[in-house]
Structure 1
Amino acid sequence: MRNGRAAVFIAAAGAAIAMWLIGDWVPPAALNRINNVLFLAAPSLAACSAGWAARSSTGRYRIAWICLTVGLFGWAVGAASVIYVESILGGRLLTTSQTWPFVLFPIGCGAAFLLFPTGLTKRHLGRFLLDGMVVAGSFFLVFWLVVMDEVYKAGGTDKQLTQFLPAVYAALEIVVLTLGLLLIVRGPSSQRATLVLLTAGLLGVILSDSVYTYITVKHVYPHGSFVDTGWIAGMFLIMIAALTARQPTAPPPKVRTESAWASVWLPGLTAILVLLAAMTEPMVDLTSRPVMVLGACLACAIFIRQFLAISDNQRLLAEMADQALRDPLTGVANYTGFNERLAEVMERRERDRAPVALMVLDLNDFKLVNDSYGHPAGDRLLMLVGDRITRAVRPDDTVARLGGDEFAVVMTGPVDDSERVGARVVDAFTAPFMVDGHELAIRPSAGLALAKADDPGLDAETLLKQADTAMYSAKWAGSGGVHLFTPEMASTRVDRELFRTTDVPERSGSAVLTLLSDLRHAVNRGELTLGYQPQFRLNTGDLVGFEALVRWPQPDGSVLMPLDFLPMVRRNGMMDEVTDLVLGKACEDCAQWRATGIEASVAVNLFAPLLADATVPGRAAAALSASGLPPSQLTIEVTENMVLGDLAQTRHVLNQLREQHIRVAIDDFGTGYSTLSYLRDLPNDEVKLDRYFVAPVLTDPTAAAVVVAVVNLAHTLGMTTVAEGVENAQTAAWLQKHGCDIGQGYFYGAPIDFDTLLERFGPRRAATPRTAPASAKSN
């Protein structure tokens, strides 16, 4: 506020002084002395004001004001020289050594204009300076024809060289004035007031310089005339600009010079001004050496600028064409660009027999991000995802966003290389994403389809369908990694509605995302635990084994059941880690309880799509080897209603497990889509009847008939039968009567932890079933 008042006072004082000088209200001698004081005081005060602005600024702003301070100080030194020569020495013409300080003024002003942040990128700064050169060159040529030509001829042949400094000074002033005018038009609005005041002050000084140069050719110029008003008023305006300047807190927005209309009409307008000035001059002046040199330089500058304008337009057209093929949010290719690239590589494959690979990725639980933190946060997550995928692929690979949270990568080259790139892309999601201070553990489901050189009749549309099918297979399997398309996937119907978040218990979106992040940390740190539910032989009552059931303890002492978190495990590609964790813990615990004398095996439930993974037998063998548990004491239970995909590969994996003497059981038998076909097609040692059929056998004749039929069929096929959901002694007796082998349920015991297992079933305790029914809760 204080600076604003000072600026208003200076403006009022400057206006009063100008009227006083113009009005000629005092005697000439007194006016001359007062004018000399103002002529020296104005630039000195302006220099002090610019120095104060530099002191209160930082960065480039401070350097700009320092440069302006130096320029104003040079002008003040020159003004002192003029006063000394005219008033003390009685001279009328300054020497070159006495006028050189004036040159610091346009140099300092020009440096200040260039240092003020304007939003111009380095790429466009050259075009901006070239525009300034064209305009300044045109104005200087006009100025030469009107003013400097008279000075040039008046100096004579011997004195023309002494006029070089005034010409340079005039050229510099015009260049700086042009920069100021262009910056007013193109510069940031936050600096426009300061730029207007500085440019207006500079204009006042230049006008007085021009008039002074012209009339000194005609007669000797005395100080105290009207011309001095421009110099003094110009310095006052610069002083006001320095006192009222405020450094912006935000950087100026980026501007593009080729998008400005001035870049189109400016060269033509300045050329018209030159032609109009030339029409007023005789031919002898137009053919003088300085005019010819200036005209040639100006013509070259205009030609270069127009050439750059055409180049800019061509580049803009190319950028627009490229932007039409790019996703505006993530910067990767959009669906149109993806289709063009895929069609191109598939056409090249037909011609050059070059393999093509296509990977499709879909983000798991992305909808929760939008619902919890808003669509802007979801957009920022998509930008981070696009960046990670781009950094994970090779330079020749094409990353595209197909829409929503679905991405694709088009790859060419050897198949093995493409598979490695696909794995690298998925691995890039291992680290969580930080969005608005939230840690988001988002993982993709990825499917890969290959178009090998010798695959006949494979077009782009078919390849995309294959990659999409493999992606949904990966989403259903929940095992992470990249799922490679196989023909069996095409014959399996996948219901995409199953991949919505409705299988997650009722929670807010942010709570689910937080839970997902905590779950990932718990899996990585091995914090999941196992509960063990006992299984008894029905005809003898002997303990035969335990089913391992995964649990997730919470910091508040509560425990989450599988239905609370396994859907997230499946959708977010953590099933491999959880499977290895459960296998390792179960085998280790079983080996320990057997070492204490508890003769019981352990059963581990594997998510069925994992059994199409050829690494499962090796992982099971590693868990057995690490724990020392005999393979015959491990049973792998396959959830029957989730078997999906490559049945031939699943059969091969199960055969490998049985060759290692690991038992295989079909869990939840009777609830799937292809119950009997799995009994026929998959190698099994055991069938576990779902509680849906077991619980009502005493009251529902249909359920009882189904159980009897399955027990008889299993025995015919040489399989053991296990009844789940045995809640009372009557049901246990009925099952024993009809030939069922093993019973499991709350009648025999609820799931217990390892320590309770040792206490209850150790050598000091009787390993007999409970004689009273327990709670009817599900396990």
Structure 2
Amino acid sequence: MRFSLDPTADRRTGGEFAPVGVTHAVTVSRVLWTLGFVVFAWHGAYTTFNIGRGHWDFVVSQWTPFVVFLLCAAASAARALSDRRDRATWLVFACGLGFYAVSAACVAVAAQSDSPRGFPAASDVVAWPMYPLVLVAIALLVRSQRSRARADLWLDGVIGGLAVASIGVVVIFDVIIDPQAALAGSPGNVVYVLGDLLVVGFGIGSCALLGWRPSRALVGVIIGFAALGLDDTLYLSAQVKGTFVPASGLDSYWVLAVLLVAAAAAWAPSARQLTHAVTPRSVVAFPFVFALATVCLAAYEGLTNRHNTLAVSLTTLTLVAVVVRFALTFRAHLTMIQETEHDAITDDLTGLGNRRKLLRNADLLLAGAANERPVALLLLDLDHFKDVNDSLGHAAGDELLRVVAARLTTTLQDGDLLYRLGGDEFALLLSDAESEAALRAAAALVAALDTPVDLDGLPVATGGSIGIALSPDHGRDIGTLLRRADVAMYRAKRTQTRHAVYSQESDGQETTRAGIQLLGQLRRAIGDGELAVHYQPKVDLRTGSLIGAEALVRWLHPDRGMLYPDQFLPLVRQHGLMHAMTDLVLDRALDDAATWHAGGHPLPVAVNLFPPTLGDVDLPTRITQALAHRDLAPTTLMVEITEDFLLGNLDRARTVLVGLRELGIRIAIDDFGSGYSALSYLRELPIDEVKLDRSFIAPITHDPRAASIVRAVIDLAHTLGLTTVAEGVEDTETAKTLAGYGCDVAQGNYYSAPVTDCDLLFLLASAPRAKLR
């Protein structure tokens, strides 16, 4: 089979390529419809303006509708060949129009024989099946967009359909036509009007099932049958009043209305399937707008003292449906409130209560503690959980937390309440529990953690440290108990006793309290982006030009002033904050680099990456996205790593570093020589730069052995094609000595202390290529 690459054909069929036959079927459908429109235009001119009147008057006036309707049915059948998803829809639609065309032929035959018209006439019996077939086609069209719909949407559809039908019945049979006269004089034509109303009402009701986002095809069917209903109403009115003239303009309007119906098949594109419910405020308002219209209709009926039984019945059914819809809406609102409240106090991962639920329940229990009913709070923190996340990934860490939560739950007694406060921290609240009961509960929790957890076939040993605080002895409010249980838990970690009860002596240790307070402040500072980044200029030793900068994190503490990394990095590493802090520093450094580049100073920036950040195999992708977001080249960034990380994670480091290097990001070993230096790193890893630690650099002017080592490392690095950077250069003599050894780059207070991004930009702007010293 030959295929077409026509993009419009692709969109119509929903496939990657459209068969040539499918494309031709679309064309045939539109050609057939267009031909029908041409016949209609000629017929309209013939009947309205008497153009071409002659011997063929009867044939033209009576058989033209049959020809047009037959072309419309054929156009719908051709559409079925081109639309694989809605094929059944358009085949049923074509059958309905085919019945209507045969009905038009019956009308022409009956007119030629001048036989009296009975009820129901043969043409009526043939035409009426069109309405149920079109209803089925609409249902299929809706199902192709949404296979399932909520109960409230179905009810909205019923309300819309009933409201439209009741309004139409009142307008047509109370305002335009006398219903008794219509039923007595032309009962068959009443059926047509009611059928049109049924289709329009069903179509509008179906829009509710689609979230009031109907396809163009459905809108076209609704508009077409609305036009057909108007023509049938005018025809019925003329029949009742005795003013109908055969071969008049009403016949042309009739043909036009059917053409509008068929246009949905010939011209409307395929509908897209809806994947979710749409519930904006305007959508919810639709059924209530219909309800208001129905109420106004009922008021009109009462004020005019009319007794249209069908209208009253439809209005009553509409109002009943609206009441049921109100009830469903109210119930859904209550359910949403309950679910929202449940979600607000439940941990998504483990299903346990969260911190908010702990605070709520603790207030109730501690109200009893005021009457000397003891309450115990146990705070548990898993040991080495961060290592599981770093080595096996966050999915494994989540599974570990779920297993741990399930095991801890098995230790609970009646009245015990277990919560997950976040991360790897759990809390157990015991009512009417003395110190002995709290210790027994702690021992049970510890025992539940003794068995290793199987994670993807790998047994992972886990444990925990538990701090215990008792009320009323250690506090009468949950905030105090949480803080003191935290103090006891850290004492248990420090002494490796698995669990500890709070004591005044432990809380009196200023270092412990200060450490806990500093950790909380550090978490907030990282979360709120309050850490600062300063930049240490890097200088070319041959030219004295500023050629780069190293990003250094700082913390302007509200009470302690400027804190340097050695004062808070241990807390960052110990409590799993390294990922968040590294992301913050990296984003800030790249933002500043983008500012420098925009100002005409394309200065590279170096960022230190510590474990466990470099153990993340997704790191190259994240860094690439960060660079692309700021329109920066990969060469703008240099990643600095430390030797201590490489010692224990060489294989994973190699994978991550190779990924970074392939992207064009440069790699440097920071503090080379400060640890257990392995020269094999320079061969095995994609290193671009070696940074000599300040402990090597400082003594080179007075220690010949230190000078020999530095010179040897510089020579070796140059042999391997690597750049050498000297850290901690503090004076002129050291700078000259390094330049004499052939060192490439230097940094230190001799050139400039670390400066802010604005100061560095000023330094860059002071000369085309700033020279320091």
Which of structures 1 and 2 has the bigger CA Rg? 1
